[in-house]
Structure 1
């Protein structure tokens, strides 16, 4: 199943790497943004199957805020990819019921397993 995935990542290098990983797996990248605000604008006008977001983003709101908005308003599965290991932030992130929480750098195996859990859902 080919998925349309939207990436939210404020590091251009990591965003490009993630885009390459997603496309090499046979999926398409429906868009990339660096902030909560930019993502909200695009997500409401883009047909996507999944969002992969970092927790720390440019701007005042973070990826947890974004995932909460998506869950409440758009009903699109979210995968976190982050280097954050702070227990409080991880707990807060998990309360948004993401499909997965992947630790950077994300490997092809990690992403494949997370995407398989979407197919099984």
Structure 2
């Protein structure tokens, strides 16, 4: 199994801690955690990241979809969205950024493991 360096963007400290715990239990590294688009951009530019897992709703003016679009255009890092939002319009907006997956919260071990396997296989 390839050990991925994963960056988490989540504005809820409890959800970020739970996701970090899950990622580590799956055998991967968490190389950073951010609560906002702006902070994530700064940290991602400085980190060695194989994958970003981001929530859709973030602290600040820009959301996770904005972050996914930026990452696709400038950093070429695979993105997984995780959100409690299931609104068709928002999901379609997210899918336009070509993420690896869109996972509905709470994210389970099997769903996250399956999404990460697609990155490992690439």
Q: 1:106 aligned to 2:107? A: yes
When the two structures are aligned, how many residues end up with a matched partner? 121
Counterpart of 1:56? Answer: 57
Q: Distance in 1 between matches of 2:95 and 2:121?
A: 20
- The 5 A counterparts of 1:1-121 are 1-121=2-122
After TM superposition, the score normalised by the length of structure 2 is: 0.98
Distance (whole Å) between structure 1 residues aligned to residue 48 and residue 71 of structure 2? 13
State the shift of 1:58 in Å.
0.3
Give the structure-1-normalised TM-score.
0.99
Structure 1: give runs of 5+ residues left out of the alignment. Answer: none
Unmatched tracts of structure 2, length 5 or more: none
CA distance, structure 2, for counterparts of residue 119 and residue 28 of structure 1 = 14
* Distance in 2, Cα, partners of 1:29 & 1:15: 11
Give the alignment's Cα RMSD to 1 decimal: 0.5
Q: Distance in 2 between matches of 1:5 and 1:117?
A: 14
4+ residue runs of structure 1 moved beyond 4 angstroms? none
